[in-house]
């Protein structure tokens, strides 16, 4: 990711993400921008949500979980390491934390909470700040060797964790079984399985993915090799590229249309510009 770029200026669905009946599941982190609504639960490594985010199911984080103030979780929050819960957060089920719990004022947890580590009730402090304060304390009391060991352990731990692109939901987004609505570009990775119509500024679908819904964008739309779109594909002022072996099970409406070899469109094509068709494997033989 480029330095200085806002990480929440794009909907990013990483490779292998699956939208099941009750949850979005990914192997990496989950980042949700402020004032967004996620009608599913979420399952990932670390889960971080901005102010006033709503979750329609459980949150399951293998690592840390941070919920900013005024977040609302319909069901349980299960955290494998540490949790940071902001002021006036509402949790409709239980909060279970395997590590430390840092919790703000006026938090409503309907079915109670438990934590195996320290419990601190105050305005939650970000992990980086906590580590900085702890390191500063060690140095002040002359424990330079202990501080150095802590830094080394943190660096070694980071090196062991594989780099996995996070699932990113931009600010003011709505994500659900019916539709994924964002005002930013949307990028869906390879081998994903999503339910719902996708509405975005532009849309890029990777290879071998299934989207059970339509795609609609203001700009360009690209569908990767072997992917299936179970609905219409529409763009207001952009072009459409359908790669080799991809299939659109609906109508296509766009400016220019490029169809790769063995690409299929089951419905009607409405293109204001040029239509370019690749040579299929059968024709080459």
Residue 47: Cβ within 10 Å count: 26
Residue 206's domain comprises 185-284
- Whether 143 and 230 map to the same domain: the answer is no
Residue with tokens 């395997």: 98
Q: State the average pLDDT over residues 13-27.
A: 90
Q: What is the pLDDT of residue 135?
A: 60
Q: According to the model, what pLDDT value does residue 283 have?
A: 44
Same domain, yes or no, for 38 and 117? yes
Identify whether residues 155 and 98 lie together within a single domain. no
If asked whether residues 116 and 155 sit together in one domain, one would say: no
In a 13 Å sphere around the CA of 111, the CA atoms on its Cβ side amount to 12
Residues 90, 93: Cα–Cα separation, whole Å = 9
Residue 15 sits in the same domain as residue 119: yes
Helix axes 144-160, 127-140, angle to 10 degrees: 150
pLDDT at residue 163 tops 80: no
pLDDT value for 281: 41
Q: Same domain, yes or no, for 132 and 117?
A: no
Residues 6+ apart with CB under 8 A from 232: 214, 215, 216, 248, 250, 251, 252, 253, 267
**Two tokens at 256?**
């220019």
Residue 165 falls within a domain, yes or no? no
pLDDT reading at 266 higher than 70: yes
Residues 236, 146 within the same domain: no
Same domain flag for 145 and 108: no
> What's the pLDDT tens digit per position in 168-217?
999 999 999 899 999 999 999 999 999 999 999 999 999 999 999 999 99
Q: In degrees rounded to 5, what are phi and psi of residue 227?
A: -80, 160
50: in domain:
yes
Whether 250 is in a domain gets the answer yes
Same domain for 134 and 107? no
Total domains in the chain come to 3
Distance CA 84, CA 66 (A): 5
Residues 276 and 221 in one domain: yes
Residues 98 and 21 in one domain: yes
Q: What is the pLDDT of residue 134?
A: 60
The pLDDT tens digits for 48-72 are: 999 999 999 999 999 999 999 999 9
For residues 116-122, give the mean pLDDT. Answer: 81
**What is the C-alpha separation between 94 and 132, in angstroms, rounded?**
30
Within this chain, do residues 81 and 121 fall inside the same structural domain, yes or no? yes
172 within a domain of the structure (yes/no) = no
């Amino acid at each position: 990711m480029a330095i200085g770029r806002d990480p929440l200026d794009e909907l990013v669905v990483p490779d292998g993400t699956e939208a099941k009946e009750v949850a979005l599941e990914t192997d990496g982190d989950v980042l949700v921008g402020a004032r967004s609504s996620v009608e599913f639960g979420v399952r990932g490594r670390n889960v971080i949500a901005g102010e006033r985010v709503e979750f329609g199911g459980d949150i399951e984080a293998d690592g840390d979980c941070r919920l900013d103030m005024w977040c609302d979780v319909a069901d349980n929050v299960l955290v494998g390491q540490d949790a940071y819960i902001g002021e006036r957060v509402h949790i409709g089920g239980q909060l279970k934390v395997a590590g430390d719990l840092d919790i703000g004022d006026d938090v409503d947890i309907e079915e109670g909470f438990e934590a195996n580590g320290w419990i601190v009730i105050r305005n939650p402090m970000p992990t980086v700040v906590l580590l900085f304060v702890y390191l500063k304390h060690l140095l002040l009391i002359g424990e330079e060797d202990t501080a150095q060991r802590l830094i080394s352990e943190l660096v070694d731990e980071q090196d062991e964790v594989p780099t996995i692109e996070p699932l990113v939901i931009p600010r003011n987004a709505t994500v659900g079984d019916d539709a994924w609505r964002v005002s930013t570009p949307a990028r869906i990775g390879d081998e994903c399985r999503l339910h719902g119509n996708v509405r975005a500024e532009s849309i890029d679908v990777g290879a071998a993915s299934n989207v059970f819904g339509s795609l609609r964008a203001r700009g360009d739309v690209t569908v990767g090799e072997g992917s299936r779109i179970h609905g219409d594909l529409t763009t207001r002022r952009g072009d459409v590229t359908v790669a080799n072996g991809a299939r659109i099970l609906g109508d296509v409406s766009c400016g220019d249309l490029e169809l790769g070899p063995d690409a299929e469109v089951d419905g009607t094509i409405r293109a204001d510009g040029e239509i370019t068709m690749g040579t299929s494997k059968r024709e080459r033989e």
